[in-house]
Amino acid sequence: MKQILITLFVLMFATQIQAQSAQDIMNRASAAIYYPGADVRGDVSMTIVDDQGRKRSRSLALLRRNEGAANADQQMYIYFTRPSDVNRTAFLVWKNTRGGDDRWMYLPALDQLKRIAASDERTSFFGSHFFYEDVSGRLPNEDRHELVETNGTYHVMRSTPRKAGKVEFASYVTYIERNSMIPTRMEFYKADGTLYRLMEVLAVNTIQGVPTVTQIRMTDNDMGGNTTLRYRNVSYGNGFDSDLFSERSLRAPPMEHLR
């Protein structure tokens, strides 16, 4: 009996350590892709390919600032420049680790400031195959994680949502490059096991000593087609102040940081 109790204790302890290890890996992966540097500025080109192979392009500038440590609160500002129908459209995110994110959009043609509801976070970001949540990043503690495999190149993780009713996926598998800890592939599955969304990192460059995603693609099998984001003119350590990420900046863009 004593031996059985010892064995059960060892198994429980090992399971707890494994779960903690899996959570730590996902925390580091989130930090690597969504929190590199204290702040960042970059120009982004977005290419949207629909289910018939037709292409649309958008250009935007992105500013991001972390509040302290990785996986903590964060602010993000996006300003569209092309094409003409989205020119001067601005998007602001306050990422809150203690509650739902706050998101606003400014539509210049209507001079309208629009609040984006939390329920819309998993809907298309400006007609692309990325969701609003993909842009700002899903917090790793929103899901349960299991380390499926570690090989010479990747940590392979399987994750399930803690609140299944809030999302449309049943699980996702993440391939995390072990050296950079950047998640380079994410496969989202429905309850019936169907792969319906696929995120692929296509390029990583070291900028100011920081491994940085410079090309990423999202494919959606339900919508058909895909969207690719390409980043250039990326810089870290810009010294952005929190006042930059305010509702005022939506109507009065900080052009000195956007050019």
Kindly report the three-state secondary structure assignment for every residue of 191-258. Answer: CCCCEEEEEEEEEEEEECCEEEEEEEEEEECCCCCEEEEEEEEEEECCCCCHHHCCCHHHHCCCHHHH
Distance CA 154, CA 163 (A): 27
Taking residue 189's Cβ as centre, other Cβ atoms within 10 Å add up to 17
Give the three-class secondary structure for 108: coil
State pLDDT tens for residues 79-90. 999 999 999 999
pLDDT digits over 126-169, tens only? 999 999 999 999 999 999 999 999 999 999 999 999 999 889 99
CA 225 to chain centre: 19
Task: Give tens-digit pLDDT for 11-37.
Answer: 333 343 344 599 999 999 999 999 999
Rounded to whole angstroms, what are the CA distances from 193 to 158, 159, 161, 172, 190? 13, 13, 15, 10, 5
**Domains (range + CATH), the chain:** 2-258 (2.50.20.10)
Residue 172: its pLDDT value, please?
Answer: 98
- Give the position of tokens 């540097």: 37
Least confident among 2-11, 109-118, 224-233, 238-247: 2-11
Render pLDDT for 30-64 as a digit per residue (tens, 0 to 9): 999 999 999 999 999 999 999 999 999 999 999 99
Distance of CA 251 to CAs 14, 28, 195, 245, 254, Å? 54, 35, 40, 12, 10
The tally of CA atoms less than 13 A away on the side-chain side of residue 50 is: 6
Element (DSSP H or E) covering residue 142 = none
